[in-house]
Amino acid sequence: MTLFGLVRHGQTDYNLRNLFQGSSDIPLNETGREQAHHALDHAPEIAWDVVVSSPLERARQTAEIIATDHHLPLGGTDPRLSEIDWGAAEGHDVAEMEAAYPGRAFPGREDHQAVADRGYDALEDLERRYPGQNVLVVAHGTIIRFLVSGIAERPLDSIPNGTLSILTLDGDTWGVRMIAGVPEAHVVRVASRDTNPRFVVDHAHLRPGAAVDPAQTPENREDETA
């Protein structure tokens, strides 16, 4: 069994300003760098073997900080772990764009199912590359939410910056052990690893879909797509 720790990158200025970020290559801000340093502070005691990431700068920076802090090797980047491309919404205010385009039907937006499918493909390739190991994957809020919600079989709220979710993969069986720092126990088997979709991501999942935990601080309740 291979275990994946999915870490959402630290905060950027786009996050702070509540702008759609997606494929835009925005670096971490000071808060984001601090979040990267503390991303594993409250994680379970897991002996991580390697850190890989999306090639976007905010994810790479987060991965490099974690690798340095925890003396872990970097395993490079995979473009399939990049965030969804929000098309015409990139760089624009979240509330304004959602009002203008109900259902997040932004011109040029990447298909949500395609985002999930490429993410599962990337994880399966990492499982073949690091069989039986514990792999930290630094990526982005929406793609992490798509991956986890597909396996958990329910819509999820935003994935906060600098939080850890844990998935497992053993043959054709996927599991969810943690969602953004909250323990979870859900296992599901797929019919085949050779065809997509592994898990169907409903169009409604484009927008975070669960109630916000009132215990979360305001800075952690930012829209993950921002």
Catalytic positions are 9, 83
Among 155, 151, 153, 142, CA closest to 212: 155
**Within a 13 Å sphere around the CA of 1, how many CA atoms are in the beta-carbon half?**
12
What 3-state DSSP class applies to 29? coil
- Tokens representing 55 are 């090639």
φ and ψ at residue 188, rounded to 5 degrees: -145, 145
Query: Measured between alpha carbons, how far is 115 from 142 in angstroms, rounded to an integer?
Result: 9
- Give the ranges where 153-218 is alpha helix by DSSP (H): none
Query: Measured between alpha carbons, how far is 19 from 93 in angstroms, rounded to an integer?
Result: 4
Contact 146, 178 (CB under 8 A): no
Single-letter amino acid, residue 119: G
89-103: b (≥16 Cβ within 10 Å) or e? bbeeebeebbeeeee
